[in-house]
Chains A and B, each alone.
Chain A
């Protein structure tokens, strides 16, 4: 009898002590503000609102712009970690949507496009939050255009991350030679998968059901 009680207690203690994997989701969205891509920002806002509607308590969400040097906290437009209480979550979502709306209204186009810096910033943010599922959304044409002196030719560790490219628009040059567009997508896929990340492209923004 004593053995049985001791065994039960041990099992219960072990169950209490075992670390459980977090079940929350972390999303970092990079929004390209270079050149004419700023015209697409209203679409980005739609995606952000959709993402907000899909996120729940204890999830984390941040939106940052891609500009000349994106590896900076200053580029984060809005960020939040949702509370445990549903009423607080609703308030946070409304505030977040308002901040994004202000950003979309007042966004200025940037001369250069530092996607890798933004990706690095996203990885840092999500690792810091320690969420169970980590997703990086890149709302860009994926055409990286670095200013002279910026070093970005290194691998970003993306193990455990899902990187989703959204609204990858075709450039004028892509229309002339579509291989450029395909090569660009292939290059990014290679970079992500090389370091253990998962890669997806969603260009049809009407079908966002599988986004998260």
Chain B
């Protein structure tokens, strides 16, 4: 079996090994650029300390941006959607059963009508 076979998707093609080859070439170029960078950089010295306009560096735990603060804008922009979709997820078993039975009833109507 030829391991270099290209994946045919019906209307397109995908060869991961060719992609990987390209990726490696780009990685080498990036590495070459990086290796020509500043040599006097010293890890663990004042060079690597964050500069916060002269203020003291906060505790490590305070610097990390927690999950709750991420995508605030996304959820705010879609507030209308989330205000409807989240309350449906009640966590109540009776509701789960009602949804299941409701969908079953709806599907029976659809399938029988279009049969």
Q: Do A and B come from one complex?
A: no
**Chain B interface residues toward A at CB < 8 A:** none
